[in-house]
A and B are shown apart, each in its own frame.
Chain A
Amino acid sequence: MDSLIPFTTSGALVDCVDRKMLVVLRDGRKLHGVLRSYDQFANLVLEDTVERIYHGNAFAEHWHGLFLIRGENVVLLGEIDLDQEDDIPLRQVDYNVLDPYHKMDIADRKGREDFKARVLYEQKGFCKEGGEGDGY
């Protein structure tokens, strides 16, 4: 009976607690941190959170500390394999160096999505997305 707990709604994330996880948020942010706690809405408490941004063959990190994330903003949660964690084929650079490129990427992507949404709305009869859209 005890082994069925991971299949219940309240015990769904019990196997992820105290593990290093990757959290992708709806605004496109990728956060790495140790999952400390969760609740029925998938609100998460993430400790030692690091935000990572990518551009080309480089990546950068920014330490954020203790995070309480509202569950509805989470796209996915993935466990990080600590053995493979450091085998990254990209080179690490300073956050301030990569940030402008990252913001440029986001703006480009947003432009493309907006254009796509407009075409779908005007020509194909799709309805408009609800407000904030999804940055990921």
Chain B
Amino acid sequence: MLPLSLLSAAQNKPMLVELKNGETFNGHLVNCDNFMNITLREVYQTSADGDRFWKLKECYIRGSTVTCAQIKYLRVPDTLLDSVKEEQARAREASRSARGAGPGSRGGPCLYFHALPRI
């Protein structure tokens, strides 16, 4: 599963995001996009030195300022990971059958994303 897919699958889960300046934001992920911009709610912000704290109802973090999203206590039920994989498989089946039913040639095999490992 691609990193950004994992992040999207973590919506509504608690996580810790650390910025490049060392500040940390603990909150629940509301949404994210392909640029890794994220919105969090019920956020506890800690300064880089760990001496100042803020509580924010919502916050928006620009992807370019993130160092690592430390998904610390993400209670990843393996069921969630499996259900996401199932969804992906179902979506693939659906699009494959739709393409098969439609007109037009199928072209050669596409190497790109079939080469990437799926977890």
Contact = CB atoms under 8 A, between A and B. Distances in A.
| Main SS class of interface, A | mixed
Given A11-B116, A65-B73, A37 B68 contact: no
A66 B3 contact: no
A122 B81 CA distance: 55
A32 B76 CA distance: 20
B72 A37 contact: no
A67 B73 CA distance: 11
B40 interface: no
Interface centre among B22, B68, B74, B76 (most CB of A within 10 A): B68
A37 B67 contact: no
| Main SS class of interface, B | loop
Given A10-B115, A11-B116, A14-B115, A68 B2 contact: no
Contacts of B20: 27, 73, 132
Contact of A68 (B71, B113, B115): B71
A66 B64 CA distance: 20
A79 B92 CA distance: 33
B76 A37 contact: no
A65 B22 CA distance: 19
Given A45-B1, A132-B21, 16 more contacts: A5-B111, A10-B115, A10-B116, A17-B119, A18-B117, A25-B68, A27-B20, A36-B1, A37-B3, A38-B3, A43-B4, A65-B74, A66-B72, A67-B68, A67-B70, A70-B63
16 contacts: A5-B111, A14-B115, A17-B117, A17-B119, A25-B67, A27-B22, A27-B67, A36-B1, A36-B119, A37-B3, A44-B3, A65-B73, A66-B74, A67-B71, A68-B68, A69-B67
